[in-house]
Amino acid sequence: MASSALICDTQPWKDLKAHLEDVKKTHLRDLLSDAERCKSMMVDFDGITLDYSRQRATPQTLGQLYKLAEAAHLKEKINRMFNGERINSTENRSVLHVALRAPRDAVINSDGKNVVPDVWNVLDKIKEFSEKVRSGSWVGATGKPLTNVISVGIGGSFLGPLFVHTALQTDPEASKSAKGRQLRFLANVDPIDVARNITGLNPETTLVVVVSKTFTTAETMLNARTLRAWISKELGPSAVAKHMVAVSTNLKLVEEFGIDPKNAFAFWDWVGGRYSVCSAVGVLPLSLQYGFPVVEKFLKGAASIDQHFYSTPFEKNIPVLLGLLSVWNVSFFGYSARAILPYSQALEKFAPHIQQVSMESNGKGVSIDGKPLPLETGEIDFGEPGTNGQHSFYQLIHQGRVIPCDFIGVVKSQQPVYLEGEVVNNHDELMSNFFAQPDALAYGKTPEQLQQENVSSHLIPHKTFSGNRPSLSLLLASLDSYKVGQLLAIYEHRVAVQGFIWGINSFDQWGVELGKSLATQVRKQLNASRTKGETVQGFNFSTATMLTKYLK
């Protein structure tokens, strides 16, 4: 594509800069008193309500953000993604994670070929294999059923599946079908992670799924070799065929590793690692644990948001609205962080997953055309489930730095508890906080209010809350596998919207390469020092000194 102007040089960007000064004059307290404004800032779609009335924005802001979206060619970029164009230009790849959850009869082309049949071939293979393992018709080398699975992978080959697994653990439907089974994740190359994973497991009843898009990631391959040795030592080398399977785009390397290609589950280079949970990367381990029907429902949830994202006008399009508001917060207000605060323990691994989806995608220094950017992209994402976070870092959010917050709540708990004699049940107690925190951030508390409460004057500055701190709320009707899929897709697309507006490539990750190649040099040195006693050389003073200490 021809090189285009930087978004910050466009008129809508400049207009928004000017408009910002007006918005800054208005406190959220006042904005929230306008019921018409608040009504216009609520969207309902398929069991999800978005309320963004606590953003520091007016209807005029939204109008100007839509103009910015037009200047950034947002609609065309979304269409290009869904049409399988190679929008990941630095890797010359399409970006088609939406095809992973498309219905069987959908047509999504990459290079003129409909990829949906390939997707469903793999899904059918996973369904068949997972049913065999779960029913006990596929057994281990000693004839025992494989009730335990260790999924070995890192980054996108780990965080998404871990998030979904954690979210479904207490879902009544999913937990029922997971009875008697365990799913563990081995990600870190730290031997402690290996020890923790195999503790209490018997290789006779364990299936190892090696998950790596490239099948070259150093950590994953070492962990895979370690578990292969664990299985071979206990059961003999021939047991590997029954106890190890793989998920990868590189089936040649899978075979070279010693895994039968018949037991390899493919995906494609048009699936980015951090967008791969809906491929065999997530679908295989999750189907082994919960059964394919539960995972199929998760895919349907994600597909419902894909359709919504693709076809809904921006005014009612949840991922688009979220993306535009994030750009507003990051690039205009200069808020550099975003807190993801699910009021659901089941979503405890959501923020870590979104950290990778967002920060690996949008933490870039140049435009998609390679021009240095005069603006900062991406934000620092972090989060913890409420109410735990309230007793940890919320102090800073209330009285320290301004950090836009995403509050995520659920109407119907996965596991409600009703205590006899108590009207407000445990879930109501949790949700009381979900509803209270956004208002505490928005309204704050003035010195006048404190005076009226007879607070001693020396404490008034300490007890004052400036308020005017933005947040948004997402209320989900429930948290079953369908809703988990929806939530995932909302955040994936929001990140894409931000990148499309900023004019960057959200689908490459060159920033992870330098550290990897320096580690290769260190590894070579450790090898040479340990095998041939070579002294440390070729490093700066600091690294050489520390390495020498380590080797001693």
Q: What residues between 473 and 532 interact with ligand F6P by CB under 6 A?
A: 509, 512
Secondary structure of residue 70 in the 3-state scheme = helix
Pick the catalytic residue from 204, 296, 348, 360.
360
H-helix or E-strand spanning residue 119: helix 116-135
413 sits near ligand F6P (criterion: CB under 6 A): no
Q: How far is the CB of 163 from ligand F6P (least distance, A)?
A: 13
Is 516 a catalytic site residue? yes
Minimum CB distance to ligand F6P smaller for 378 or for 389: 378
Smallest CA-to-CA distance from 315 within 19, 52, 29 is with 52
Q: Candidates 208-216, 251-259, 395-403, 432-440 — which segment interacts with ligand F6P by CB under 6 A?
A: 208-216
Q: What is the largest CA-CA distance in the chain?
A: 78
**Are 167 and 479 spatial neighbours (Cβ–Cβ below 8 Å)?**
yes
Secondary structure of residue 372 in the 3-state scheme = strand
Among 145, 273, 383, 389, binds ligand F6P (CB under 6 A): 273
543 sits near ligand F6P (criterion: CB under 6 A): no
Minimum CB distance to ligand F6P smaller for 184 or for 274: 274
- What's the residue count for the chain? 552
Q: What residues between 147 and 186 interact with ligand F6P by CB under 6 A?
A: 154-157
274 sits near ligand F6P (criterion: CB under 6 A): yes
For the window 344-363, what string marks contact with ligand F6P as x by the rule CB under 6 A?
A: ----------------x---
Pick the catalytic residue from 76, 516, 524, 534.
516
Q: Candidates 166-174, 210-218, 231-239, 256-264 — which segment interacts with ligand F6P by CB under 6 A?
A: 210-218
Alpha-carbon distance of 352 to 348, in angstroms, equals 8
The residue type found at 405 is C
Characterise 256 by phi-psi region: left (phi > 0), alpha (psi -120 to 50), beta (else).
alpha
**Are 258 and 228 spatial neighbours (Cβ–Cβ below 8 Å)?**
yes
Q: Candidates 63-71, 140-148, 209-217, 324-332 — which segment interacts with ligand F6P by CB under 6 A?
A: 209-217
220 sits near ligand F6P (criterion: CB under 6 A): yes
Smallest CA-to-CA distance from 406 within 344, 363, 360 is with 344
Q: How far is the CB of 486 from ligand F6P (least distance, A)?
A: 22
Minimum CB distance to ligand F6P smaller for 253 or for 544: 253
209 sits near ligand F6P (criterion: CB under 6 A): no
96 HSE (CA, 13 A, CB side): 25
Minimum CB distance to ligand F6P smaller for 235 or for 354: 354
Q: How far is the CB of 88 from ligand F6P (least distance, A)?
A: 12
Among 64, 147, 206, 217, binds ligand F6P (CB under 6 A): 217
Beta strands in 4-145 (DSSP E): 42-45, 48-51, 109-110, 113-114
214 sits near ligand F6P (criterion: CB under 6 A): yes
**Are 301 and 483 spatial neighbours (Cβ–Cβ below 8 Å)?**
yes
Pick the catalytic residue from 391, 412, 422, 453.
391
Secondary structure of residue 454 in the 3-state scheme = coil
Q: How far is the CB of 267 from ligand F6P (least distance, A)?
A: 10
Minimum CB distance to ligand F6P smaller for 274 or for 427: 274
Q: Candidates 56-64, 206-214, 341-349, 525-533 — which segment interacts with ligand F6P by CB under 6 A?
A: 206-214
Cα 552 from chain centre: 41
Residue 189 Cα distances to 199, 396, 526, angstroms: 16, 34, 16
Instruction: Report how many residues bind ligand F6P under the rule CB under 6 A.
Output: 14
Is 462 a catalytic site residue? no
Helices (DSSP H) in 446-539: which residue ranges? 447-452, 460-463, 481-502, 513-532
DSSP letters spanning 338-369 = EEEEES-GGGTTHHHHHHIIIIIHH--SB-TT
378 sits near ligand F6P (criterion: CB under 6 A): no
Binding-site ranges for ligand F6P (CB under 6 A): 154-157, 212-214, 217, 220, 273-274, 360, 509, 512
Catalytic residue numbers read: 360, 391, 516
